[in-house]
Structure 1
Amino acid sequence: MFEITNFEMGRRVRGTLLLSGSLIAFVVLTIALFPSIQQSGVNLDAYIQNLPEEARRAFIGDVDSITTIDGYLASQFYQIAWLLGLGIYYAYAGASSVAKEMENGTLELVLAHPVTRTRLVMGKYLALIPSMLAVNAFTFLSVYVSVEFIGEFLDPGYLLALHAYSIVYFLACASLGMVASVRFDTARRARTVGVGAIFGMFLVDTVTFGTDYEWIGDFAFTRYFDVGKILTDGTVSADDFAVLAVAAVALLVVSAELFERRDV
């Protein structure tokens, strides 16, 4: 299993570095704009308070002000680029893992070696974890250093809590992608399902929150990751964390079981 993990990790190094570099550039640009936004004199907080609840939850998140550095980052970076963008990325990566081998015709060669299907799924899944850790570490450092550079203060404990919490959320997204990867024959179809599922969850969570249909949004991973609360006041819900952890493990078990039963 670890031979598969090591091999897959090596293949992901370049992609991880490119992703980290892109996020660092985005972080630097976003934070560099903050002083001018803060000094503009425009009452942005009044503007966001007047937004429809669905739009505010989707694009701003659970923050009271975007003129403070923590609220600004939560709304302008973590709510979309992190919660939605990276969630989609790891669902896409998980969906590509096994389905791509099927599509390329290399899966039979892999399974010809003394390796079970469950070990193959586990090995490919575990190879995503170093990427998640590296992306989180690089982004954490870039955010903290950039905030210090412009003379603002961001609680490092809250920031660390947000990035640590992110890991279990990304693992859940990757597990969902893995289910799609073992279910479909082509990588394109698996990726479409994985990406569509995360995006669909985000939309459902947004439009059902605070309505009579709020229970539907309880099935969305994004319902259990409130970037605004974690970054602005350090509130971390152990129950929400447990839901994401259970979902990650359960979906991984489901993907391994589906793959064991499937004709290849």
Structure 2
Amino acid sequence: MLETARYEVEGRLRGSVVLSVGIALLGAFYVAMWPSFADVDLDQFLEAWPPALRELFGVESLASIEGFLATELYQFVWVLLLGLYVAYSAAGLIAGDVERHRMDLLLSLPVTRTRLLFEKFASLLAPILLANVVVPVVVLGSVLAIGETIDVPALVAVHVLSVPYLLACGAIGLVLSVVFDRADVANRLALGVVFGLFLVRSVTAVADGYEWIGRLSPTAYYDPTEILVHNEYDLVGAGVLLAATAVLLLVARWQFRRTDLDG
């Protein structure tokens, strides 16, 4: 059972470790920078920023280490860059095998198309979960090392609630992976779609009458700043992201099975 998932996890294990360690070190670097900004009234500078720019970078307050990390680490690196990475990785799951002519071999094994698709998607949990274990431990340790404190439950919640968000990004990439049979096309489109949704959410959040368009973006349902700065956990949003992931997986399954039957 789960042979495909194990094989995929083993194949991306080294990359997952490098990714997790890299983000963790970046988080430690941001924490180390905090003492040099602690006595500066950064919020005064934020008032001069246009609302659209503040929304784009998720900047609400830099007066606390939680607000500083929410802006510097989580809103940009976690929400945008990690979301792009997961979507990019997912976009190559099926298209890559089709392009390399490995899919016929895989489908000749005693495994259903649905199981193959879902196990490949499940392999994305390796980098997602590893990063969500390594990074908060390093961030917390770094904060304590400089003599500061951070809301531990909020830090844990930021990472736990990011899992549905990252899965939704991965599901977007998976749909593109079964629609296109060239990995490079699917990869680029996955990056474009996730980044485009990020921009749409940021712009429409400050545009009267267009907020509903921004609700189509996964970033509308996961906000690290609200969690770290205000201790507000959007559990409904997490449920919406999980539901959207399930719908996208069903769409990918339907397309994958249809393409196989036609081909």
Deviation at 1:67, TM superposition (A): 2.5
Corresponding residue SS for 2:110: coil
Corresponding residue for residue 150 of structure 1: 146
CA distance in 1, matches of 2:58, 2:171: 27
CA offsets, 1:85-120, max 9 Å, x none? 111110011101111001111111111111111111
Corresponding residue for residue 254 of structure 1: 251
Corresponding residue for residue 220 of structure 2: 223
Deviation at 1:50, TM superposition (A): 2.0
Corresponding residue SS for 1:82: helix
The letter for the 2-side match of 1:26 is L
Q: Mapping of 1:27-46 within 5 angstroms?
A: 27-39=27-39, 41=40, 43-46=41-44
Corresponding residue for residue 236 of structure 1: 233
Contact 2:157 2:227 in 1 (8 A): yes
Deviation at 1:210, TM superposition (A): 3.0
Alignment TM-score, normalising by the size of structure 2: 0.96
Deviation at 1:195, TM superposition (A): 1.1
Unaligned ranges ≥5, structure 2 = none
Contact 1:5 1:126 in 2 (8 A): yes
CA distance in 2, matches of 1:123, 1:11: 14
CA offsets, 1:70-89, max 9 Å, x none? 00000111000000011111
Deviation at 1:58, TM superposition (A): 1.2
Contact 2:91 2:173 in 1 (8 A): yes
Corresponding residue for residue 12 of structure 2: 12
CA RMSD of aligned residues (A): 1.1
CA distance in 1, matches of 2:158, 2:95: 31
Contact 2:86 2:169 in 1 (8 A): yes
Corresponding residue SS for 1:153: coil
Q: 2:53 aligns with which of 30, 52, 55?
A: 55
Q: Mapping of 1:80-229 within 5 angstroms?
A: 80-211=76-207, 212-229=209-226
Contact 1:6 1:127 in 2 (8 A): yes
CA distance in 1, matches of 2:203, 2:151: 31
Find out whether 1:3 has 2:39 as its counterpart: no
Deviation at 1:248, TM superposition (A): 0.8
CA offsets, 1:141-173, max 9 Å, x none? 011101111111111100001100011111111
CA distance in 1, matches of 2:83, 2:173: 10
Corresponding residue SS for 1:203: helix
The letter for the 1-side match of 2:216 is F
Contact 1:91 1:177 in 2 (8 A): yes
CA distance in 2, matches of 1:215, 1:127: 33
Corresponding residue SS for 1:101: helix
CA distance in 1, matches of 2:175, 2:58: 31
Q: How many aligned positions are there?
A: 260
The letter for the 2-side match of 1:94 is A
CA distance in 2, matches of 1:237, 1:206: 18
CA offsets, 1:184-241, max 9 Å, x none? 0110010111111110010000111132211111100001111101111221122211
Q: Which runs of 4+ in 1 moved over 4 A?
A: none
Contact 1:99 1:187 in 2 (8 A): yes
Contact 1:60 1:76 in 2 (8 A): no
Sequence identity of aligned pairs in percent? 37
CA distance in 1, matches of 2:51, 2:68: 18
Alignment TM-score, normalising by the size of structure 1: 0.96
